[in-house]
Structure 1
Amino acid sequence: MRLLKASLLGLSVLASMSAAARAADDLVVGVTYLDAQGFYAGVRKGVQVGGTELGKNLQIIETNVAADVAKEASFIDRLVSAGAQVIVVSAVSPEGSVKAIKRANEAGVPVVCYNTCIREDDMKKYVYAYAVGDPFTFGYKIGQVAAADFEKAGKKEPKIAILNCEFVDVCVQRRKGFEKALGEKVPGYKIVANQEATILDKAITTGEKIITANPDIDAFWGESGGASLGAAKAIRNQGKAGTMVAYGSDMTTEIAQEIVAGDVMRATVDVSGQALGKLALTQAVNAVEKKPQGALIVPNPVDLYTSADQARAWLAAHPDGLP
């Protein structure tokens, strides 16, 4: 498997390649990542492994768009000009990402979304497939764990703080699922704070400020991996371990270790980045090979980790730390 990372040189090389010069098992694929956190490293590995399993020589042009619509649009346009055969994208914005994806589609380059995508009406027009772990189910599953814990503790009006990633719609859907589960079991719950904080350092400082302002919080929920780990560290830094808990999203080595420790992180919910990367690449190959389009939404499993044994098993299965 050959890998070609994003660069002006790589793009110019691709632009000089004719379709006839490519072997039947060659696949030139452009891939965007929404940020640099562990989940997207897992997606990257899944794409690479998926290529090997499918017998494809991958030439990957990739970049982290850093949740920047302008950067995403520029990169997609460059991919089209360079001759990428398919684009695999975690869209920055349901609205703002539409124009670039539309341009790719109209240029004859199929687009496959994963994890995040554009609005459903636009998806139907411009996207071949959307590989995703259902975000509402994602939030609902971890909300059920939290609700059961509150019920068991006799907390009818638990106070909860959220560190969110709601600049993307998928995280809004996660919260809706989370609150739906809470409302079914502990309808008196109160969200006392809901602030954006996906990068670890920001999540820690934001979490600490929330605790200072609301020292009687019962729990945090982090909507992403960085937010989850940041919430756990903020609780520990503020001396609240044992009296305040965290519920997580995504699975990483550090989050698994927190669950094993057992004093702060109660559970996490996860969509495997590697599995999602493989699934997205399979759809990309189908699109390039012009296979009939199936269901637009292609589901990926949503996994729940609630015990130290489950966390240890994850650690053993992921020695490289990639989710």
Structure 2
Amino acid sequence: MGATRRRGRAGLALAAVVLLGMVAACGGKVGENGRFGVVYMDAQGFYAGVRVGMQQEAEALGRSPQLLQLNAQGDASKESTFIDQVSAAKVDALILSPASATASVPAIELAHESGIPVICYNTCIAEEAARQYVSAYVLGDPVRFGSLLGERAAEYFLSVGNREPKIAVVNCEFVEVCIDRRHGFEQALHAKLPGAKIVANQEGATIDEAVDVAERILTANPDLDAFYGEAGGATMGAVRAVQARGKVGQTVVFGSDMSTEAAQALAAQDVLKGVVDISGIAVGKLAARSADQVRTGELTDYTVVPAPIDLYSTPEDGSAWLRAHPDGVP
């Protein structure tokens, strides 16, 4: 199975991708400023921010490329087919949040062998493979991400006199960064509250999944003190479950990834007590800048590009976020 067989599957499917993902500078020929293949892991708001950030940075660089885009919906097979297509189309860069640290490797290797620079953001393939096939990885340190929320949770429980809180995790641990987030959370939490207990850890990455998971956890643990949501869907699913089960005032939530709904919940302060976030817009800007630096030769070796991490912990923080993001794009 070489590149020839993979490229042979491109065909008419590429045209559909091109039409779906067309974004170009006003006036002028589509694609004359280059083309980026872009993969979003799912449809959550973070990825809308990434798209906006890439466009803003490209325009600031005076070069607005055509974006050939895919929402992979966490499907490594769908992601692979798209990468085959954009590799055959010889895009200037592939910018993606891979669906799997392992299953995504063959397609990324193909892009690399086709001479296409690969830029990871948010997630990436296993480090050994990334050092071979990836030019840059835009990453907010996931351990630090989790530790900020663990510190916030410990601060909250100390303030209410609970030194042995029972906490459940709603996770997204099919990707490595979410495992690292939990490790950071637990380390920071237990550093200040050694008696804190993690009583459950179940997957629920989308809001609908997370509501079901969180409600089952509440049934099994009626005295639960808190949820930790490792991603945006997990966070808001936990908040909705607490509200639906009449646990407001008893069970609180500490979560990840800001959105309009999360900011509103934080401003209300009855359930959500803290959110850690990496701005999708900021990540998109860094990804587009990294792609341009690879194109111009400023980046020649595998480079981890740090993304900023923000903690929102008060009602005022939630209200300020809403004012700063009236369109809801994080």
The normalised TM-score by structure 1 is: 0.92
Question: 1:228, 1:246 within 8 Å by CA — same for their partners in 2?
Answer: yes
* Residue matched to 2:235: 228
Gaps of 5+ in 1: 1-5, 15-20
* Residue matched to 1:170: 177
Report deviation, 1:150: 1.8
2:192 is the alignment partner of 1:185? yes
- Give the Cα separation in 2 of the matches to 1:258 and 1:13: 34
SS of aligned partner of 1:26: coil
The structure 2 residue matched to 1:254, chosen from 261, 270, 279, is 261
2:117 is the alignment partner of 1:110? yes
Structure 2: which amino acid aligns with 1:259? Answer: L
Q: How does 1:1-323 map to 2 (within 5 A)?
A: 8-9=15-16, 11=18, 26-293=33-300, 296-323=303-330
Structure 2: which amino acid aligns with 1:120? Answer: E
Shift of the 128–295 alpha-carbon distance from structure 1 to 2, 3 Å rule, reads closer
* Residue matched to 1:3: none
TM-superposition CA deviations, 1:73-98 (whole Å, max 9, x none): 11111100012110001011111111
Query: Which stretch shows the higher mean deviation, 207-216 or 267-276?
Result: 207-216
Shift of the 109–242 alpha-carbon distance from structure 1 to 2, 3 Å rule, reads same
Report deviation, 1:305: 0.2
TM-superposition CA deviations, 1:7-50 (whole Å, max 9, x none): 52454999xxxxxx989971200000001111111111111111
Question: 2:137, 2:304 within 8 Å by CA — same for their partners in 1?
Answer: yes
- Give the Cα separation in 1 of the matches to 2:247 and 2:16: 51
Report deviation, 1:155: 2.1
Report deviation, 1:287: 1.4
Question: 1:208, 1:234 within 8 Å by CA — same for their partners in 2?
Answer: yes
Gaps of 5+ in 2: 1-12, 22-27
- Give the Cα separation in 2 of the matches to 1:214 and 1:194: 12
- Give the Cα separation in 2 of the matches to 1:295 and 1:51: 21
Report deviation, 1:294: 6.1
Shift of the 24–82 alpha-carbon distance from structure 1 to 2, 3 Å rule, reads closer
Structure 1: which amino acid aligns with 2:245? Answer: Q
Identity %: 47
Report deviation, 1:317: 0.8
Shift of the 13–261 alpha-carbon distance from structure 1 to 2, 3 Å rule, reads closer
- Give the Cα separation in 1 of the matches to 2:283 and 2:130: 18
- Give the Cα separation in 1 of the matches to 2:284 and 2:116: 19
Question: 2:150, 2:184 within 8 Å by CA — same for their partners in 1?
Answer: yes
- Give the Cα separation in 2 of the matches to 1:98 and 1:69: 10
Shift of the 32–238 alpha-carbon distance from structure 1 to 2, 3 Å rule, reads same
- Give the Cα separation in 1 of the matches to 2:316 and 2:135: 39
- Give the Cα separation in 2 of the matches to 1:11 and 1:235: 43
Structure 2: which amino acid aligns with 1:203? Answer: A
Shift of the 92–123 alpha-carbon distance from structure 1 to 2, 3 Å rule, reads same
- Give the Cα separation in 1 of the matches to 2:20 and 2:319: 44
Question: 2:164, 2:193 within 8 Å by CA — same for their partners in 1?
Answer: yes
The normalised TM-score by structure 2 is: 0.90
- Give the Cα separation in 1 of the matches to 2:274 and 2:192: 18
- Give the Cα separation in 1 of the matches to 2:329 and 2:66: 21
Report deviation, 1:195: 0.9
- Give the Cα separation in 2 of the matches to 1:292 and 1:308: 41
Runs of 4+ in 1 over 6 A off after TM superposition: 21-25
